[in-house]
Copies of this chain bind each other. A is one copy, B any other.
Amino acid sequence: MSRLNRAPLIDAALGRTPSRPPVWFMRQAGRSLPEYRAAREGISMLDSCFMPELLAEITLQPVRRHDVDAAILFSDIVFPLKAAGVKVDIVPGRGPVMEQAVRSREDVGKLPLLETDVPEVTEGIARILAELSETQALIGFVGAPFTLASYLIEGGPSKNHERTKALMHAEPETWHMLMRRLVPTITRFLQVQVDAGIDAMQLFDSWAGYLNERDYREFVLPYSREILAGVNIPRIHFGVGTGELLPAMSEAGSEVMGVDYRVPMDAAAERVGARVLQGNLDPAMLFAGDAAVRQAVRTIRGEVDRARERGDIDGHIWNLGHGVLPTTDAEAITRAVSIIHEEG
């Protein structure tokens, strides 16, 4: 039995009627919060993910402050690589940087696999669950294999993913070998979270929106599908700039599809197989004042209602259409959550 009792997020994810409109924000835990900046002082991002008490504290900060309906496990897309022994660091202002890029069959063959438990995360999750109420869900997360592959091949964050796409097209066998090598590590890290008691999970494919649908289907979809197929809790799937990919991403299999802020929710509903959508307030709106946020929330609400009336979807989880920007005023976030609870 789940420790949850009528948690709005889980109800919405399963197509039941939630007691209030569930809302959480991607990157709700992070640099927008002064208490996060204080807690992380002098501790590197990836180190903090291996410190159970700090991990729990950071995950819980936005739940306490904003009254959101879910905590999202504080972690990073490259965390399972680090846990497996890959030499990677998160460089402030830049992102994950690899000591060595992975560009050949030999490199792929040497890529370490995550085959152990990750007790720090297990303990961190236990601490989080102990503090959440029975209506607050804990969402776990893993990065999708395409996004991880891009970091590995490019050696760090890339604006154009040219080496990644070149490897795909010039050496498809090496590409598929890399994807097959990443899946067990991601699956393992997800299983660690499931075993520790997360209530739902999100597969983040941050960079998928840089692919066209053809390439996504051939080089990415089978592997994301395999990861999602392995879990029996509510699944959310999200990528940025994925308007063209929603039908294909849908086929990876998830109860919930996250929608980028560029795609109207009623248009998204027509493109996906999922019965529940998540999204899609533009994170920049949190800079525009409460009146503008209220107006935007009403517009999204109208789109969602239209999609429901047409029978395209059964539910909606409120979120941004991308992550909280680090310079967002923490109080504006709290007020946006409250506006959504009123208007959503």
Contact = CB atoms under 8 A, between A and B. Distances in A.
Nearest to A299: B214
Taking each of A164, A262, A296, which has the highest tally of chain B beta carbons within 10 Å of its own beta carbon?
A262
A325 B165 CA distance: 13
Given A166-B288, A170-B292, A299-B214, A160 B263 contact: no
Which of A211, A284, A295: most chain B CB closer than 10 A?
A284
A165 B288 contact: yes
Interface residues of A, number: 38
A169 interface: yes
Interface in A282-335: 282-285, 287-289, 292, 295-296, 299, 322, 325, 327
Given A164-B284, A244-B267, 9 more contacts: A160-B284, A162-B284, A166-B285, A166-B287, A166-B292, A169-B295, A214-B299, A244-B262, A244-B263
Interface in A158-173: 160-166, 168-170
Contacts of A295: 169
Contacts of A244: 243, 262-264, 267
A205 interface: no
A150 to B, nearest CB: 11
A329 B298 CA distance: 49
Nearest to A162: B284
A161 B261 contact: no
A88 to B, nearest CB: 22
Interface of A: 160-166, 168-170, 209-214, 241, 243-244, 261-264, 267, 282-285, 287-289, 292, 295-296, 299, 322, 325, 327
A283 B169 contact: no
A325 B160 contact: yes
A85 to B, nearest CB: 29
A288 B214 contact: no
Contact of A169 (B160, B164, B241, B289): B289
7 contacts: A160-B325, A163-B287, A165-B282, A165-B285, A212-B261, A213-B264, A214-B299
B287 A162 contact: yes
Contacts of A289: 166, 169-170
Given A169-B288, A212-B262, A283 B160 contact: yes
A212 B160 contact: no
B243 A162 contact: no
Nearest to A211: B262
B288 A170 contact: yes
A77 B235 CA distance: 43
Contacts of A212: 261-264, 282
Contacts of A285: 165-166, 169
